Chain A
């Protein structure tokens, strides 16, 4: 319930019609009370009572800052101030659901640039500096009339304001933009709770990656639940108290940056049974089906990119097709959301220039958004999202008198907002166009001279001439405002310094003017003008809108949204691959055979096969192999490969941040790669959980993950985890020696074992996602891939595993594996190595390219890995090096990049060889795949042809043409005077995890 208090009369209260009326207030007043009832009737208006209720010739009646009645038949009470709104339009004022109006700018909380392991926030708050669940917007809100005015000009009457800082951001407050004491502006004090993927001003190291942020959110949900149920609270925690207390509010999640973040936010929501209202950034159209499936309500931006300056063709190459296409299609985003039936609210929050809001909204309407939904997205929807429809969002009786008066329909380009009324207070935005005084007048003077005066042209700024003779028709300078009018003209052609100056008033009919004037000689004269004829009817035809958009001519959305994306989702082929040299990786070895794939599986292998419903691929002279599997890859990961802020980050999951739009996925496919283990980096002894993906280019992140794959986790040893090469400041984080690395494992595994016991005993133990992961290792349910170089540390980790009774799955990199190959074999551990890397740091001084061959010969199942997007597409060559260095057979060498990595990733039951029943993950090569001359001609993943060299060549043509089309369009935009941006080359887009200033 909103309370209106007695007004505190601030000196300059500009408001003639104050709405603050008659209710009780705690505030004292200096001077006599000054209640005003504020009864206004707006008549003859085209009224949008709600976003979808349009009433012609309607009356809006307000009193005391609220709507009394709105409709066609409204009785006007005595004494109401009547405003004739003929020709005008009234809409509910807009609501910005994503504002930080009236809140102080977040400030960085300390931090000297060096490592900071703990929070800088003093007091009984939680452990992480980026969790500001305790922040209350209402407690920090100070009305700011200047900022309010900027928003009022755009038509906004209400905002939801919150502190845009941190991962949990506390509560938001819904307030109006009226100029008044804060107490009188509050629509809802605690209207929402906010979250984001950005640590903001926090200077604490953790989290430093997106997956770390997600892990922190997840852990905080568990901590809060634990805290809530804790009977004897040893720890009082303001952050968790606040977190729990705000869970029942609408939960708003800032997932800006790209559409994948929306899916990531939704995944968290589902895990914890909440439904977020998710803030996107306007790229939702790039994957609308998945966005729709979240069932989340969205807040999105109208941040349409400027055209790039592509006049120099050598600079144009710095702009990617993705950027060009987004420039073209961004305005279709709201329409795409509407078409998909997604409820959304639009905000000016992301706009560089807030004034672009309405023009961009109109642009969205031109690009297919219906105007009803457009209006809903800035009135009804934000109100609904915040459960404040009882107060704002429409002009039904009892709601706040927040409305705008416009000169034309809102989505007309020439529409002006004339007034914005908030809580019954009038804010003039742009004066109403003056009364139309065009027409023909008889102008007479007291000296009996009489002329004809003609006003023509624009109704708001007519042009006037006075006809003295047929040849003398001087222009009249004419200004008028309200009832004042002045005219001046020179009645005699050619003669200078002979002007007549007139001033006068217009009567209420606007047809008779009268006043005094002065002649050039200084004599005073009386004059009058009387309209003899009204304005000429406008006979010009309505102009065709030259800016109309032909939606059918826009480019298509590609999946993923970049140059090498597809218009359609790929489908498995039924294919007979005839007569190729098949490298089976099975007992059959290498032989010329046919292979049939169907519904994503290898269904038949043999000679002279036929298949009625199959396409045929003649592989005569070609080599057919199972696809390459990269045991160690860091492609397709969004915003941070390492959560290296602490010695253990077992809780973070690469699976949370798979980036399905990474062009390197397609590039790997071109090298015959079908699957990769996406690994956490090697910044800490216990890294994060892996994501095992097939390179399903064109699918959403979740669909890339290998169904039913075992869980893996990255460990790391040596220089990276000791931070040896991180510069002179990185000497704080434990461990800094290989001795400390060992003790780190003892510490964590000891803790995990004790945690496991306590949980098994069903004592109320706080769920700890980090220890959960370690416990999974101890239970043989999660598998370690350990980055390792020198033999001492390899030996050490085997001792740790023996002590705690778990098995290490894989040593990765393992460049000194050859020194302890026998021990590795005895432990049944796999080895995944670089083919020939060395000399890049001290611990690889003894690395040798014979490593893979020696390990293989000793009997260790060995793979070669890439760790690198470039090398990842040449793993066949890296495998071939084991022939040169160490003399492996071709069959052994080939397994290094196919069957062996499949084994170490526990995928060999359905991947890694050409065998009936296995996945149709197949590469077809122009030459012996171990030869440098071999090129991949096709790569199939689950029977889907995701790379085809011929198709790729066609793609180059299509890319060139599509770029050319868009460049022409941008050049048009530039010559039409649109503002443009300078191109810069980009690998891929980055996201700021924290405030980097």
Chain B
């Protein structure tokens, strides 16, 4: 437990509370990170969903030093038992570790408590603020994601027009340095909104036209043009920290993640990115299904907002958010499913499950939270699928991981490290089950 010391009574309360729990509980709120893999591990006789679209029946996967070196369906020759540990996974399902994108896990701990939030910096243009430096590996929330199979996260700042630089982390680490898969992933921006909310707070939202939309857009464009000019000019007497952080956009080593909503805004955002010559990834983009063909043709990826959502428009297909992934899939858009929150990310696999109930195949739904996000994050050489040479980051479930009725993660590995699936909630559950003598 690594809390920055303040003299808040609330903090003292938290510490007291957690101490009192640890007296009874079997595991701490945040289990220790796993040590590096030692020796080969084989998971045998499993149904392996590789994330490439294939399902291998009665298959075995072997990994060493964190990398997969063995993957066979109905292996003819059994793996050499002397060369490593064999774990029988008969009847179980193995999947690539799930990747959560556009999340504030580790930046926010308790939504309503101001002190527990590090997700939005003040000001409009903050490309140089970096998620990685405030990513809290000791969050009590993170273990609840891991235990459901989420092993990686793209952690992204949220404020202003230019929110900051995202990071990709693996979710089992002592500190953010250990956690980092990518320290500086891409720049997140909030696209100016064509509308402003005007309705009374308790009512469903009603909007009015944002008369300043064009002006706000011009401001954003001017900022990016200045940043590009700064990049192209090379050396500078005076350093602009923001523009330094944006260089990667113009040499295309970083993505520009644009949070955008309506199709008109999406069109504007695409034109903006084309004008500036940056790699754009749409984030949220509930209307993206309306221009799926354009996105496919222009090869613009989408980090899609949650499926478990209501339609945007009253007339829209009432199941539209459930069906959007299948529309993007069919059109050939590279997309992944996201939630855009933190504690809720443990339900990411069920969002994909719903998308499968409404048009995706189960393997496509799996890809939408494994292979596809890895591709969007340019980490697909390393994670996102189970293939020889890739990281042994995988989960073992006793049943279909996409269905809450059967989803039950029994083992999880990050780069071959077998991680502790305990969490504070399990501990509390055990504590009180024991008290009542039930199980």
Residues in chain A within 8 A of chain B (CB atoms): 209, 312, 314-315, 317-318, 320-322, 562-564, 639-642, 663-664, 666-667, 670, 681, 719, 724-725, 818-819, 821-822, 836, 838-842, 845-850, 854, 857-858, 869-871, 874, 877, 880-881, 883-886, 890, 927-928, 930-935, 952, 956, 959, 963, 982, 984-993, 996
Contacts and interface: CB of A to CB of B under 8 A. Distances in A.
Contacts of B205: 986-987
Interface of B: 10, 14, 17, 109-113, 140-141, 195, 198-200, 202-209, 262-264, 267, 290, 308-310, 312-315, 317-319, 342-343, 346-347, 350, 353-354, 356-358, 402-405, 407-408, 425-426, 428-429, 432-433, 436, 438-439
Contact of A667 (B17, B310, B350, B436): B310
B404 A842 contact: no
A982 B404 CA distance: 44
Contacts of A890: 405
Given A836-B347, A881-B404, A992 B314 contact: no
Given A719-B112, A987-B206, A870 B308 contact: yes
B318 A984 contact: no
Contacts of A663: 314, 318
B405 A932 contact: yes
A725 B141 CA distance: 21
Which A-B residue pairs are the 5 nearest by beta carbons? A987-B204, A932-B353, A841-B112, A990-B199, A850-B429
B438 A933 contact: no
Interface core residue of B111, B140, B208 (most chain A CB under 10 Å): B111
B208 A315 contact: no
B436 A841 contact: no
A932 B111 contact: no
B405 A641 contact: no
Given A840-B111, A984-B209, A563 B315 contact: yes
Nearest to B342: A839
Contacts of A664: 310
23 contacts: A209-B202, A320-B314, A564-B318, A639-B203, A663-B318, A670-B319, A725-B112, A836-B346, A836-B347, A840-B110, A846-B17, A848-B428, A854-B432, A858-B436, A869-B310, A870-B310, A880-B403, A883-B405, A884-B408, A987-B204, A987-B205, A988-B203, A991-B203
Contacts of B141: 839
A933 B14 contact: no
Contacts of B343: 838-840
A963 B315 contact: yes
Contacts, number: 187
A839 B111 contact: yes
Contacts of B315: 317, 320-321, 562-563, 959, 963
Given A935-B357, A990-B204, A992-B200, A883 B404 contact: yes
A849 B145 CA distance: 13
A532 B300 CA distance: 83
Contacts of B404: 877, 880-881, 883-884, 932
Nearest to B113: A842
Given A725-B112, A932-B404, A956 B317 contact: yes
Contacts of A846: 17, 428
Contacts of A724: 112
B429 A990 contact: no
A963 B314 CA distance: 13
A818 B432 contact: yes
Given A320-B314, A884-B405, A990-B206, A314 B264 contact: yes
A752 to B, nearest CB: 28
Contacts of B439: 857
Contact of A640 (B202, B342, B436): B202
Contacts of A842: 10, 110, 112-113
Contact of B262 (A209, A849, A985): A985
B110 A933 contact: no
Nearest to A890: B405
Given A320-B314, A841-B110, A877-B404, A986 B206 contact: yes
Contacts of A990: 198-200, 203-204, 206
Nearest to A992: B200
B268 to A, nearest CB: 11
A886 B200 contact: no
A820 to B, nearest CB: 10
A870 B112 contact: no
A353 B107 CA distance: 53
Nearest to A821: B436
A314 B263 contact: yes
A322 B405 contact: no
A509 to B, nearest CB: 62
Nearest to B349: A932
Contact of B314 (A563, A641, A885): A563
B319 A818 contact: no
Given A839-B342, A854-B436, A641 B429 contact: no
Given A848-B425, A849-B425, A985-B312, 13 more contacts: A314-B263, A314-B267, A317-B315, A670-B319, A848-B428, A854-B433, A854-B436, A854-B438, A881-B404, A883-B405, A934-B357, A987-B206, A990-B198
A279 to B, nearest CB: 21
Contacts of B314: 320-322, 562-563, 663, 986-988
Contacts of A927: 357
